[in-house]
Structure 1
Amino acid sequence: MMIKFFRKIRQKQLSENKFSKYLLYALGEIILVVIGILIALQINNWNENRKNKIAEADYYCRILDDFELNEKLIDETSARITNKIKLSKELMSDLNNIPNDRSLILNKHVVAIRQDVFVPSNIAFEDITSSGQLKLLTDLRLKNRLIQHSTFLNNILNLLQENRNVIIDRMSDFEFMSEFGLQDIDYLERELDREHIELLPKNNWTNDPNHPIFLKFQDNLVIYIGMLIRQKQHLSNLKKEMQEPIELLKNKECKNKEG
C-alpha cells in the first residue's frame, strides 16, 4: 500500500513537471524498500537465532542425559569389579585350602574372569561434533570443558582396554591351559562325552602347591586382582572428572528435564 502511495505521488509529480519533488519521492521510495529489506533480514536473523537457541538447549539436555547415564554405568561396572575382586580373593583361599575341589575352583574361576566392557554413552557430543554444529554451543567455558572431557574419556577407555589385554594375555596361555583340567568346568562337562574327557589331562595340580600350574594360577590371580583394582581406579577418576561438566550442564535450561 505504501509503495503504491509513493508511486501515485511520483506519477503526479511527473505529470506536473515537478522533477525535484519527483526525485524526493523516488528517494523516499528507495529508502522504504531498503528499510523493508532490513526488517526482513532482521526477522530472518531473529528466527535463526531462536532456532539455534532451541537446538543449543536440546544439545545441553541430551549431553546431560549421557553424563547421567554414564554415572550409572560407572557405578554398576565398579560394583561388578568389586565382586570379581572378592571372588578372586576367595579363589586364592580356596586354592590354598588343601585338599580342595578342582571342579569348584575352576567353575568359580570362570565366573571371576568374565570381562565386563564399560561402554559409555557419548552420542550427543559425537553428533554435535561430527555434524559441525559445535558452534551452536555459545557457552565457551562449557564447550571447552566438554571437549576436554571427550579427550579424557578416550584416554580412560584406552587404559581400560590395555588392562583387559593384559588379563586376556595371562588367561589365554595355551601351554598353561592344556593341563588346566577344563573338563571340570560345568558347561564343558555337560557338552563333552566320556570318550573326549578320557583324552584330557587328569593331573591334580590344585592340591600340589609346588605344581607349576598351581603356582602360575595363583600368580595370575594376583595379577588379575591388580588389574581389577586399576580398572576401578580408572572408573573412579572418570566419575570425578565428570562432576564439573555435569554441574555446568545442570545450570542450563533443559525442556526435557523440566517436563
Structure 2
Amino acid sequence: MRAKDIRERKERDDPVTMLTAYDAPTAEIVDSVGVDMVLVGDSIGNLRLGYESTLPVTLEQIESATAAVARAVDDAMVIADMPFLSFGADEDEAVENCGRMLKDADADAVKLESGPHTVDLTRRLTQIGVPVQAHLGLTPQHENEIGLFRQGTDQSAAREMIDLAHKHERAGAFSLVLEHIPANVAAQVTEAIDIPTIGIGAGPNCDGQVLTVDEVIGLTESVAPFSKAFGDVRGEMTDAIEGYVEAVESGEFPAEDHSHHEDGVDDIY
C-alpha cells in the first residue's frame, strides 16, 4: 500500500486502520489480518526498551526496528516514526535521516511530530519522493514543553490546529495523525482537509484510527482511557511462563518426548 492508496480511502469514505509494530513476528500478524498501515513508533522507547518516555529513542533504533518490520510485511504501508532530534534542527540532516528510512530500512513513509517548523520540511521531503504523515495534537516529543495533556481545548488552539492541518496538506502530507484532542475538534479538522485523519484519542469522526499494538493485544498492565484491550496476551504469557517454571521444577519437562538418544555413546563416562 502506498500514500496514493491511503489518500484515496478518504474519497471512498473507507476507514483506515493503523497499528504500531516493533518487530517482525508482530508485524507479520498485523499485516496478515489486513491492517492498512504499520507504524514503527517511537513508543518503542516506552513499550520495548524500558525508557520512561520516547525522548531517548535513537535514529538507529528506529531504523533497525523499521527494517525488521518491513521484512515481515507484504501489503501494509510501513511508516517510520522519526525520533526526537532526528529532524527539526538542520533541514539537510533531517532530509538525509528521513531518506535513510526509505533507502536503508525499506520504509514506505515517515511520520513527523508536526508544527509550524515542519511545514517546509514536509514540502521538501515530498518533493524528493519521501511520503510524509503529519502529526498534530499531543506530540510526546514535546512533553518537556507542553506536557502530556489534551491539546486543542480552546478556540485559539483549535483554529491553529486547523491552520496547521491545511499547511501540511498543502505541503504534501498524505495523512494526518490527530492525538488526544477533543472529538469535536477532530471532526472539524477531518472535514476541513482532503487528506485522511488518523485519530488516537480523538473520537470516532476521524477517517481512521491508530493504537499501540501492545494495548490492543492486552500486553500492557493497563490501557489509556481512549484505548481498548481486545485480548489478554499478558495473561496468556503469564500462564505459559508459570507453567514452564512449574514443569521444570517438578521434573515434568523435558519429558521423554522432548529428548533424543544416540546409540553407541552410553559408556563414555
Q: TM-score range by the shorter chain?
A: under 0.3
Which one has the largest radius of gyration? 1
| Structure 1 length-normalised TM | 0.24
Considering Cα pairs closer than 8 Å and 6+ residues apart, tell me whether 1 or 2 has the greater RCO: 1
Q: Where is the helix percentage greater, Structure 1 or Structure 2?
A: 1
